[in-house]
Amino acid sequence: MHGGSAWRTLHTMSNSPNAKPNKLPPGTTQRVLRYAQPFRTLIIGFLILVSISSVLAVVSPLLWGRIVDNGIVKQDKSVVITLSLIVGGIAIINALIGLALRWFSSRIGEGLIYRLRTEVFAHVLRMPVAFFTRTQTGALISRLNTDVIGAQQAFTSTLSGVFSNVIQLVLVAIAMLAISWPITLAALVMLPLFLYPARRVGKQLQGLTREAMNLNASMSSVMTERFNVSGALLVKLFGRLDEEGNQFSLKAGRVRDIGVKIAMANRIFFTALTLVAALATALIYGVGGVLVINQTLSLGHLVALTALLSQLYGPLTSLANVRVDVMTALVSFDRVFEVLDLEPMIDEKSGAHDLEVTGASVEFEHVSFHYPSAAEVSLASLESIAIPTVSAHQDVLNDVSFTIPAGTMAALVGPSGAGKTTITSLVPRLYDTTSGVVRVAGQDVRDVTLSSLRDRIGVVTQDAHMFHDSIKANLLYAKPDASDGELEAALHAA
């Protein structure tokens, strides 16, 4: 890649309006740390092993120098063999530590994924029906999959990277300065040439990552809606195959473009790292070689310095960009927390009792109701467009009162939008009234437990939904303890 084209790409990325990183809400970091509490023992063990691995990584180059000075130069075979065996043993120990680190990181990461997914899933199921009427299913699924996996990287990749890089950087710097402080300072002179482009490129990745997450969630939603029977039928009946393909192609194209930008950013990052490391190595060999010829530096020390240098720039550049790495990981946590922070509008009050049914009458007393606004039940990032809630704060029911005695049948008749479905939704508390009281068997539905209330109510929806499971499993969904005889009776009755 030519240097000019690389910088033009970088300049284009920095001017992209979509690449601007969004600020995280205050307290996000503290909230993330609370999620680490159940894994603190594993994290401590993980960090101890990371520390040992970092120390061993610095010991090996020092031993290489000893092999050259005390073994090869002095032609002492025993020193060469002994130190070589020690270096080999260190390599084996490091390999075993690597396996242990993988076990620790997988336990921490998968445990975190499990906790976040189960919490989000349980929380979403408690959300009101209005939430599901507005939310893109694919966008919601993306929060449970892509974002949760991105969040766990904060504890596995980012945490271990920061900790190991700090330890390794300190140890390598001390070792290099102890061997030859002039050469060490000369090597560090090259560092600013890399840090500037590295930091500039890194700042773009957070915004690009968030936009890619949103687009992937949108595509997931489109596929979820178009690939089910109802969606596919609509697409075919209205002849929208080409239009749907074109719209999906636009989103996929944007994801492709973002992927190219991220790939270019990473390429620029590592190209700069490789270039500066090569220049620094050349500098050390040049200056160090002269010092070896002048007999002010041993050949073994030159070998050790060169080996240590390769372990100096990696940690330095990673730590220079650590804020961006952390922020990128926190973006995923923030998107998960957005869902967890949505307040369920329908919840049981403290001290709610089971519904006692002696006669299943239904009573509405001066009931008024309006549907909740979008801000009360959903997130803009979970909706494909900002859908206005026409009926929000506009009464759908106004001072409605009636009683349906137990054992009777009643029909609600009226034009579309008159409130028939709304009335039937208030009885099982799919929504709560704005004012007034709904009673079942003489008891306020807000005073009884949701499970006991809904166990006593049978609902046949306009659109029958079947889960992708056996007929028996679908029938048992309404009554898990039903006997085979009850299932057969239900099938005959249907």
Strand partners of residue 402: 364
Judgement on whether residues 155 and 296 belong to the same structural domain of the protein? yes
Judgement on whether residues 216 and 174 belong to the same structural domain of the protein? yes
What's the confidence (pLDDT) of residue 206?
66
Give me the tens of pLDDT residue by residue for the chain, a chain 494 residues long.
444 433 333 333 333 333 344 566 777 778 888 888 888 899 899 989 989 998 998 999 999 999 999 999 889 999 999 999 999 999 999 999 999 988 998 888 888 888 888 888 888 888 888 888 777 777 788 788 778 877 777 777 777 788 888 898 899 989 999 998 888 888 777 777 766 666 666 667 767 877 887 788 778 778 877 887 777 878 877 778 888 888 889 988 988 998 898 888 778 777 777 787 788 888 888 888 998 998 888 999 999 998 888 788 778 777 766 766 677 777 788 888 888 888 888 888 888 899 888 778 899 999 999 888 777 776 666 665 444 454 556 788 999 999 999 889 999 998 887 888 899 989 999 889 999 999 998 899 999 998 888 888 888 777 677 777 788 888 887 778 888 888 888 888 76
For 190, list phi and psi in degrees, rounded to 5. Answer: -75, -15
Judgement on whether residues 119 and 251 belong to the same structural domain of the protein? yes
Judgement on whether residues 239 and 276 belong to the same structural domain of the protein? yes
Judgement on whether residues 287 and 370 belong to the same structural domain of the protein? no
What's the confidence (pLDDT) of residue 194?
65
Residue 151 carries which side chain, given as an amino acid letter? A
Cβ atoms of 36 and 155 within 8 Å: the answer is: yes
Judgement on whether residues 268 and 417 belong to the same structural domain of the protein? no
Assigned domain for 377 exists: yes
Separation in Å, CA 245 to CA 226, 233, 238, 251, 367? 11, 15, 14, 10, 47
3-class secondary structure per residue, the chain? CCHHHHHHHHHHHHCCHHHCCCCCCCCHHHHHHHHHHHHHHHHHHHHHHHHHHHHHHHHHHHHHHHHHHHHHCCCCHHHHHHHHHHHHHHHHHHHHHHHHHHHHHHHHHHHHHHHHHHHHHHHHHCCCHHHHHHCCHHHHHHHHHHHHHHHHCHHHHHHHHHHHHHHHHHHHHHHHHHHCHHHHHHHHCCHHHHHHHHHHHHHHHHHHHHHHHHHHHHHHHHHHHHCCHHHHHHHHHCCCHHHHHHHHHHHHHHHHHHHHHHHHHHHHHHHHHHHHHHHHHHHHHHHHHHHHHCCCCCHHHHHHHHHHHHHHHHHHHHHHCHHHHHHHHHHHHHHHHHHHCCCCCCCCCCCCECCCCCCCCEEEEEEEECECCHHHHCCHHHCCCCCCCCCECCCCEEEEEEEECCCCCCCCCCCCCCCHHHHHHHCCCCCCCCEEEEEECCEEHHHECHHHHHHCCCCCCCCCCCCCCCHHHHHHCCCCCCCHHHHHHHHHHC
Closest C-alpha among 267, 390, 355, 356 to residue 7: 267
Separation in Å, CA 340 to CA 114, 125, 137, 378, 429? 15, 11, 16, 11, 22
Assigned domain for 190 exists: yes
Separation in Å, CA 404 to CA 222, 359, 363, 364, 421? 43, 11, 6, 9, 16
Assigned domain for 263 exists: yes
What's the confidence (pLDDT) of residue 89?
96
Cβ atoms of 469 and 454 within 8 Å: the answer is: no
CATH code of 54's domain: 1.20.1560.10
Assigned domain for 30 exists: yes
Q: What's the token pair of residue 42?
A: 């594993």
CATH code of 411's domain: 3.40.50.300
Closest C-alpha among 336, 326, 258 to residue 18: 258
Range of the domain at 39: 3-340
The CA distance from 232 to 239, in Å, is 11
Task: Show Cβ contacts of residue 400 under 8 Å, excluding neighbours closer than 6 positions.
Answer: 364, 366, 367, 368, 419, 423, 436
Assigned domain for 478 exists: no
Judgement on whether residues 299 and 379 belong to the same structural domain of the protein? no
Residue 34 carries which side chain, given as an amino acid letter? R
Judgement on whether residues 314 and 176 belong to the same structural domain of the protein? yes
Closest C-alpha among 394, 374, 376 to residue 386: 374
Rg of the chain over CA atoms, in angstroms? 32
How many domains are contained in the chain?
Answer: 2
The separation between the first and the last C-alpha atoms of the chain, rounded to the nearest angstrom, is: 70
Judgement on whether residues 195 and 138 belong to the same structural domain of the protein? yes
Judgement on whether residues 329 and 370 belong to the same structural domain of the protein? no
What's the confidence (pLDDT) of residue 384?
52
Judgement on whether residues 322 and 396 belong to the same structural domain of the protein? no
Strand partners of residue 403: 363
Q: What's the pTM value of the predicted model, to 2 decimals? A: 0.70
What's the confidence (pLDDT) of residue 324?
66
Assigned domain for 186 exists: yes
Assigned domain for 367 exists: yes
The CA distance from 184 to 250, in Å, is 51
What's the confidence (pLDDT) of residue 198?
64
Assigned domain for 494 exists: no
Judgement on whether residues 215 and 129 belong to the same structural domain of the protein? yes
